[in-house]
Amino acid sequence: MSGPAVSGLTSSAGARGTSDPSSAGGKTPRQGPLTRAERANSTQSFHREALPGRVVFGPGSGRRDLASEVDGLGRRRVLLITTKRGEPLATELAAPLGERMVGVFTDVQEHVPQEIAEAARTAAHEARADCLLSIGGGSVVGTAKAVAAEERLPIVAVPTTYSGSEMTPTFGLTSAGMKVTARSLDALPHTVIYDPELTLTLPPGITAASGMNALAHCVGAAYLPGTDPITLMVAEEGVRALSGGLLRSVREPDDLEARTEALYGAYLAGTALAAVGPATHHRICHMLGGAYGLPHARTHSVVLPYVARLKDVELARVADALGTLKASDGLRELSEQLGCPTSLAELGLPAAELDKAAQLLSAQGILDLPTARELLHVAYDGEWTAWTPT
């Protein structure tokens, strides 16, 4: 699939003051492809798993192409999964399916509690569904994945946020205060329909947090040991598209070109995540969400820059894409400009739980205990300029 028209990647970086070398710490962002030496070094040897799936991208595609994509699967009994808030839009989009839509499940919750997944599976059984239609954000497609993984039903996903989860075979379930992730090709959506028009009404706060979640996928793909040169290029382009598109989408929510750019970046971010899996910051956010109920996307906006500061040496290409000397500084600046929370205290994590949270991170092998304690304490306070990892 060719990418959409995403003019303004360079100019949108300039819009936040990074086209001037003096505003980027004296560094001019690199433009253009890798040099021959860089390309040779990055492609000498690698392994990459290419996942199956179909992507339909473009303004209006949700209303124009949904029914024909279901027809292409030859399915006749579709269960719609969405939220109560999103149900009016979802039923409007699904209306062309007519009698093929045999049920609607709206009891979706963030972090997909085990009991909600079981209720969704029961709804699929009772409706005798042979296909799942997911219309909504990450929690919606996560619920659909939990059903598909057990029932082996194809998913047609229509994302309305920037989570990127629709491109991956990974999903998470929460039980007894712990979020556990699983990976199954049965959970990978068969078809994903990206319609930027469906994001025009997304509030600026959700746009910003969801976009930082997507950006986190790109950053993780850039520093995980298992990455490959194809995924690295996808991630780098995703950073450029998201950083420019999100700023413009937050400032002018009805700017369709900006929304298209941001959604294109989210697609690339999901593709990168699918190739390498969740990285350190993603696992931290899963733990904090499962144990303390912190909102997943907004937690990314806080945690991502701090973890990036631990990885700055490995994130040179992310820094280039952001137009900054250090990726961590660029991510923090972007989070602030988007109006995202910048401390765990803002998200409601009790200060008394910081040490216990650090022990959970250590016990799960995410960070060693001293690093976990240090990172959580500075992230709790939102301290940035004076923090240097020990």
Residues 79-103: tens digit of each pLDDT: 999 999 999 999 999 999 999 999 9
More confident residue, 226 or 302: 302
> How does residue 35 score in pLDDT terms, banded at 50, 70 and 90?
low
Mean pLDDT across 115-137: 97
pLDDT score of 54? 96
| pLDDT over 60 (residue 56) | yes
pLDDT score of 44? 67
Residue 8, sorted as left (phi over 0), alpha (psi -120 to 50) or beta, turns out to be left
pLDDT score of 12? 34
For the chain, what is the mean pLDDT?
Answer: 88
3-state secondary structure of 255: coil
CB burial readout 212-239, b (16+ within 10 A) else e? bbbbbbbbbbbbbeebbbbbbbbbbbbb
- pLDDT tens digit string along 240-249? 999 999 999 9
pLDDT score of 16? 33
pLDDT score of 41? 54
| pLDDT over 60 (residue 36) | no
3-state secondary structure of 58: coil
Among the listed residues 93, 71, 64, the one whose alpha carbon sits nearest the alpha carbon of residue 81: 93
Among the listed residues 323, 308, 306, 311, the one whose alpha carbon sits nearest the alpha carbon of residue 383: 306
| pLDDT over 70 (residue 234) | yes
CA end-to-end span of the chain:
45
Q: Are 71 and 129 in contact (CB under 8 A)?
A: no
**Cα(80)–Cα(97) distance, rounded to whole angstroms?**
11
- Identity of residue 341: P
3-state secondary structure of 134: strand
**Cα(191)–Cα(188) distance, rounded to whole angstroms?**
9
pLDDT score of 10? 29
Mean pLDDT across 267-291: 92
- Poorest-confidence range of 63-72, 115-124, 221-230, 318-327? 221-230
Q: Are 29 and 18 in contact (CB under 8 A)?
A: yes
